[in-house]
């Protein structure tokens, strides 16, 4: 299973991947092509506006609006709404070493923080903005070397009034691997290589979390996941992720924008995330 930075590059397959897969390929070969297409698509800068709509197990609800900046291996998520958390910044910096976790930072303006705090250990598994996703879900990716992947076959996946043919791939953690999810199943669109849905299971073999594409769209001539539903089956909470806008900036986003020491001076209005 591969988790890709949301940026909103969100594991989650907010943008899609083109390419045709020849018959007879193995699960690893398919996933190699998915990774290659995702890496190619991630080249360059991206600006996005994303909304999270949360429904909690106790019946309460909440929502957040975010602005996102992304360049290869780095992403910044700026909290636009609600007002009480506006100005918070979540920063992800991926390591060049694929076996090393990304560096994750959180910056709280309302606490008077002078610099972003780097998240460590158990903090990485905390809920992101009260959603069904954790900071780690957004920032980390499980190393494929920790899993054995098997192609189970092909299945139809219905999204709205559209039926897509998908490869069904099961990934199981190797005996000595230290991973969050020992088993996962992912459905990948056969034609466009987009993730259509995902299921992960805990150590007891019970369904833990799921991710499903609810609405398909298009960007730069490529199929996209414009709305997704994440569900935490341990408490029944859900998060609907809606990509309201994605665009390329007129000029590439400077790498200095993503330096932790520069986050306190981040100008949200410059990127259309707020006012001066």
Digit-coded pLDDT (tens) for 136-187: 888 766 567 889 999 999 999 999 999 999 999 999 999 988 887 899 999 9
Domain coordinates in residue numbering, the chain: 27-265
- Which pLDDT score, from 0 to 100, does residue 24 have? 56
Give the model's confidence band at 221: pLDDT under 50 very low, under 70 low, under 90 confident, else very high: confident
Q: What is the pLDDT of residue 138?
A: 81
The pLDDT score that the predictor gives to residue 276 is 45
| Cβ–Cβ < 8 Å for 263, 92 | no
Residue 23 has pLDDT above 50, yes or no: no
Alpha carbon distance 92, 77 (integer Å): 9
pLDDT reported for residue 53: 96
Q: What is the tens place of the pLDDT at every residue in 71-122?
A: 999 999 999 999 999 999 999 998 877 667 889 999 998 777 788 999 988 8
* 52-65 core/surface letters (b: 16 or more CB in 10 A; e: else): bbbbbeeeeeebbb
Q: What is the DSSP code string of 135-179?
A: HHHHH----GGGEEEEEEEEEEEEETTEEEEEEEEEEEE-TT---
Is 115 within 8 Å of 261 (Cβ atoms)? yes
Between 93 and 1, residue with greater pLDDT: 93
User: Cβ contacts of residue 193 below 8 Å, gap of 6+?
Assistant: 16, 17, 18, 19, 21, 30, 33, 34, 37
Q: What pLDDT shows up at residue 32? A: 83
CATH of domain 27-265: 2.50.20.10
Q: pTM of the entire structure?
A: 0.84
DSSP secondary structure string for all residues of 30-72: HHHHHHHHHHHHTSS-EEEEEEEEEE-TTS-EEEEEEEEEEET
CB 202 within 8 A of CB 178: no
Tokens of 51: 């909304």
- Give the per-residue pLDDT at 180: 79
Mean of per-residue pLDDT scores for the chain: 85
Q: What pLDDT, on the 0 to 100 scale, is given for residue 228?
A: 97
Pairing relationship of beta strands 237-247 and 183-189 according to DSSP bridges: unpaired
236 preceded by cis ω (within 30°)?
A: no
Q: Report the distance separating Cα 143 and Cα 101, nearest Å.
A: 9
Q: What is the pLDDT of residues 206-219, one digit of tens each?
A: 999 999 999 999 98
Is residue 17 predicted with pLDDT exceeding 80?
A: no
30-49 mean pLDDT: 83
pLDDT tens digits for range 189-212: 998 888 999 999 999 999 999 999
| Sequence-ordered list of residues with C-beta below 8 angstroms from that of 161, at least 6 positions apart, any chain | none
Cβ atoms of 159 and 179 within 8 Å: the answer is no
Q: 13 has which bridge partners?
A: none
Contact between 10 and 243 (Cβ < 8 Å): no
Q: What is the mean pLDDT of residues 49-77?
A: 94
Strands 117-118 and 147-159: unpaired
């Amino acid at each position: 299973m591969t988790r890709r930075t949301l940026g909103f590059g969100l594991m989650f397959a907010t943008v899609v991947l083109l390419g045709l897969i020849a018959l007879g390929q193995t699960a690893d070969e398919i996933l190699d092509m998915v990774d290659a297409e995702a890496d190619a698509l991630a080249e360059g800068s991206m600006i996005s506006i994303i909304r999270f709509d949360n429904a909690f197990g106790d019946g309460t609800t909440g929502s957040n609006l975010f602005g996102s900046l992304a360049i290869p291996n780095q992403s910044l998520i700026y909290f636009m709404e609600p007002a009480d958390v506006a100005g918070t910044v979540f920063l992800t910096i991926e390591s060049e070493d694929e076996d090393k976790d990304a560096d994750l930072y959180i910056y709280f303006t309302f606490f008077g923080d002078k610099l972003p705090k780097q998240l460590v250990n158990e903090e990485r598994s905390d809920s992101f903005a009260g959603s069904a996703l954790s900071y780690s879900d957004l920032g980390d990716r499980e190393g494929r070397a920790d899993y054995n992947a098997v192609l189970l076959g092909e299945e139809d996946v219905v999204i709205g009034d559209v039926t897509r043919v998908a490869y069904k791939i099961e990934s199981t953690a190797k005996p000595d691997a230290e991973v969050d999810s020992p088993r996962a199943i992912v459905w990948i669109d056969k034609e466009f290589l987009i993730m259509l849905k995902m299921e992960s299971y805990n150590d007891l073999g019970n369904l833990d979390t799921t991710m499903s594409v609810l609405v398909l769209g298009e960007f730069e001539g490529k199929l996209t996941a414009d709305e997704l539903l994440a569900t935490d089956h341990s408490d029944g909470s859900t998060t609907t992720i809606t990509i309201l806008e994605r665009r390329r900036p007129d000029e590439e986003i400077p790498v200095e924008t993503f330096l932790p020491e520069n986050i306190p001076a981040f100008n949200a209005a410059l990127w259309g995330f707020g006012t001066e």
